[in-house]
Structure 1
Amino acid sequence: MTESSPTRPDDRIPVGISACLLGREVRHDGGHKHSRYCTEVLARHFQFRSLCPEMGAGLGAPRQAMHLVDTDQGMRLRATRGEQDFTAPMQGFVADTLEGLADLRGYILMAKSPSCGMERIRVYREDGEVVRRDASGLFAAALMERYPLLPVEEEGRLNDDRLRENFVERVFIHDDWCRLREAGLTPGGLIGFHSRHKFQLLAHCEATYRRLGPMLADLKRRPLEEIADDYIADFMTAMAKRISPGAHVNTMLHLVGFLRDGLEAADLALIHEQIQAYQRGEVPLVVPMTLLRGAQSKVGQPYLAEQRYLTPYPDALGLRNRV
């Protein structure tokens, strides 16, 4: 990190990150890929834990450039020039490291890396020809397999406003879920989680929203742990879907329905006007959302007061100013 956090370190959410993105000179050429967005913006809210799998595997920096090779013995990590094979030390690092990442709430990876790349990694045949372009790096693949609920994103994709907002939202939700599990799973805790996140779920995927409610209607028909595991797997899968403007409009109109009776006609008309302006692309999401939050504060509707859809992450991140 390049600066201290304005909040206590314990208040920040633990998130893993590729070490080169923090400015550490750990890349194969001895350089880095410092992400100022990560160190100057996200570091205010995320307590980053950095790893470089290749350095962790003892390969040093600078080092030979590497790529993935599909062989009769499976996927191998080899030098791009020559036949030196680094698969065993990388696998050893992964085996030694993964269990220690269980407390992380998200992970930001370096793109195009044969160890850290989340997707679109080239795989070569032994003759040097590209056989596919849809692999994950060895560490990234193992991370996502071991922690399927973990929000994972590549730093470059965080330049996309909607992908950035989606990733940060998922990190905060995953943190809430992990806190729930750490405190001890109870029926009330599970219902409470669903209640405060249900409008976020509605915005991301209405079909999942309609399916998960009934799943929680009878918590005695199966062991609670089984229900919780099935629930959160579907929930986090739905949360990874991008929200369309139309889905946000639908969700905001649901919220308006709870506030309607407590608002003046002029206030209600202004909210509808700005929701429509958002739907036409004339204003960002923050405009109608700010009006809804103000209306909730005025009306004091208790059910909406707990809805994380209104405040899914700190306002200081400014994420809804750009979507």
Structure 2
Amino acid sequence: MTQRADVVVVGGGQSGLAAGYHLRRLGVDFVVLDAQSAPGGAWQHTWDSLRLFSPAAHSSLPGRLMPAQQGETYPDAGHVVDYLSDYEKRYELPVQHGAQAQAVRRDGGRFRVETEAGDWSARAVVSATGTWSRPFLPAVPGQDVFTGRRLHTVAYRRPADFAGQRVVVVGGGNSGAQIAADLALAGDVTVTWATQRPPRFLPDDIDGRTLFDVATARRRALDAGRSDTGGVASLGDIVAVPPVRAARDAGLLHAKPMFTRLTATGVQWADGSRSDADAIIWCTGFRPALAHLAPLGLRGPRGHIPTAGTRAVAEPRLHLLGYGDWTGPASATLIGVGRPARDAARDIAQQLSS
């Protein structure tokens, strides 16, 4: 039997919870459908040493400050999972876990959301599925002949899994720097860090608080028709969190220009030289997880759905939340998703009442 709600939020991670908080405050009838079996979103699946870029108080969802983690300036992923679990319970958000959305279809004047746990009928949908479930792996010459282990950021957990091995870490962003540092500091892993361009470290005193302010200022400038400030990208690519600083200052983080191909036993560099490798970790980013929206036929350039704020331009009953700056400044972060979630909830409430 198909169940009904005025609004279905697809995704129960940080973005879905922020949307739920604001929908509840506005008295909207809604349900949150989450593919995960437990609270915490993608934070349940990160590597062991991952830390937030900002202190707890500056990494909070609307309405509830994240408590500090004892002994840590920058909380770890487990602390974030605990926070999100508490948030879900504190606000009694109607989250159904283990209900992965497979398709969203138009159904007369409503949507039909098909899930593994049954179908839902809704007047509006908020898609908040994030990117973690859709890792991006670039095509590289020789990838079919390499006999070692190839994995993406999503599958990395800890240095002990690579003890005594030669590992190539690919990617000049935060994940690449953090995982390269994690392995290098372990002492029993031979690490080579390969990047498309020389890594750009942000000044050591800059963390997520500054990045959020810069991203917000850029969006305001663009919305006001002023020139593009460049945003976070103008400052650098890598936040120098303590482990990254430690590895960098110890001389353990030296990036090499990207290799040109894979060989059976490793990689080949532009000058023709080769390096053996037991494993390659691709820290090459993600794409928005939007397969469930495919039946709506809304995809535009670069796989994005064109939006005005969070609202889909071609389907105003659909809002997208938490996928990056194209759905709100810093909206893929804990602190940044609150404002676009509020705006989306207000727009939906007004739409439902008209």
TM-score relative to the length of structure 1? 0.26
- The structure with the largest alpha-carbon Rg is 1
Report the structure, 1 or 2, having the larger helix content: 1
